[in-house]
């Protein structure tokens, strides 16, 4: 560009009216907003993606005897942390191949500890409600080769009359000692259900076993018996 042409453009530019103040403010806001959005996007993209998974892993890896534990042999999804804690005490079902289990461990509230074990995946609904609730959805999905165990643990010494109804026993508990039926609000339809009540290590242990068949096979009963043998009942904490 020649110096003469550059000078003419400069002089003509000085004669043009300035843009309205409002228009300039709108342009400035638009540019500022776009820059802020790009910065926020870059910040979110660079934020560590493992924060949520790390929090989930911390909860799932809590000690079996003092917190909530989950164990399952189902193929883990990419956003699910599956743990197999080392257990040398506590209360609930030990992890085992082919079984899913959830346990509250020892609770610090007045809610009784509880545990669930099933030879099928525990439903998302039951998982969200925790081990302290009867896993009704999982029970309702039982097939003929399925079985669910639900155990709840009440400290002895609170009601003498109740304590007398729990016969003292040692581990492992036996399915052969369970009585068929006698489960209030049984969600298992016409399928076989059993209940076993025993006093173990300072606890009144109430175990319910739900089969997916009115007449479970010897193989299925043996599987339930084996899982019952994996029930851990450590000494009840003192008052």
pLDDT at 116: 97
This prediction's pTM: 0.64
Give bridge partners of residue 210 from the DSSP assignment: 148, 193
Please name which of 64, 115, 55 lies closest in space to residue 86, comparing C-alpha atoms: 64
Q: φ and ψ at 189, to 5 degrees?
A: 60, -135
pLDDT at 167: 96
Please name which of 54, 57, 80 lies closest in space to residue 68, comparing C-alpha atoms: 57
Measure the CA–CA gap between 193 and 184, rounded to whole angstroms: 11
pLDDT, one tens digit per residue, over 19-73 is 555 544 554 454 444 444 444 444 444 444 333 323 332 233 333 433 334 444 4
């Amino acid at each position: 560009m020649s110096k003469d042409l550059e000078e003419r453009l400069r002089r003509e530019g000085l004669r043009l009216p300035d843009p309205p103040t409002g228009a300039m403010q709108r342009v400035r806001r638009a540019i500022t907003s776009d820059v802020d959005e790009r910065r926020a996007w870059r910040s979110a993209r660079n934020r560590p993606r493992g924060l949520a998974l790390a929090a989930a892993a911390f909860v799932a890896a809590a000690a079996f005897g003092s917190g909530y534990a989950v164990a399952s042999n189902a193929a883990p999804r990419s956003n699910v942390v599956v743990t197999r804690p080392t257990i040398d005490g506590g209360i609930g079902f030990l992890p085992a191949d082919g079984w899913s289990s959830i346990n509250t461990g020892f609770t610090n509230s007045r809610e009784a500890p509880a545990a669930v074990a099933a030879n099928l995946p525990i439903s998302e609904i039951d998982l969200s409600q925790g081990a302290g609730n009867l896993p009704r959805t999982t029970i309702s999905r039982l097939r003929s080769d399925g079985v669910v165990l639900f155990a709840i643990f009440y400290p002895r010494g609170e009601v003498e009359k109740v304590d007398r109804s729990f016969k003292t026993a040692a581990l492992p508990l036996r399915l052969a000692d369970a009585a068929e039926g006698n489960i209030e609000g049984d969600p298992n339809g016409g399928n076989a259900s059993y209940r076993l009540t025993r006093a173990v290590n300072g606890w009144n242990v109430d175990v319910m076993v739900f089969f997916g068949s009115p007449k479970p096979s010897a193989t299925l009963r043996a599987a339930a018996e084996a899982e019952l043998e994996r029930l851990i009942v450590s000494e009840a904490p003192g008052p």
